[in-house]
Amino acid sequence: MTGDEPQWAKDLRAAAEKAAEAFTHTGHILTAQEAMGWIYRGDLAAAQRAVAKLPADKLAELSAAAAALAALADEEMARHAHP
């Protein structure tokens, strides 16, 4: 075949790339949830192994999300303690 690739092939390639990005993002979320599950169970070593799977930019996001979640949980505990 000569010339440019057909538009449908370009569209298919773009869709596949978007899907791959979405799967990667979903994998990062599931890994963070895995770490949280291990923390709930008190298994710090397993949580550390899960966190170690994440790239640096996702670690920063996880840290910020964990801090925000901790603050929300603390606020809710305070409301329960002092209704």
CA angle 68, 69, 73 (to 5 degrees): 120
6, amino acid identity: P
Look-up: residue for tokens 């298919």?
12
| pLDDT tens readout for residues 49-74 | 999 999 999 999 999 999 999 999 99
Reply yes or no on whether the pLDDT at 28 is more than 80: yes
pTM, entire model: 0.76
| Domain-wise residue ranges, the chain | 7-81
How far is the C-alpha of 42 from the C-alpha of 75, rounded, in Å?
A: 22
CA 52 to chain centre: 13
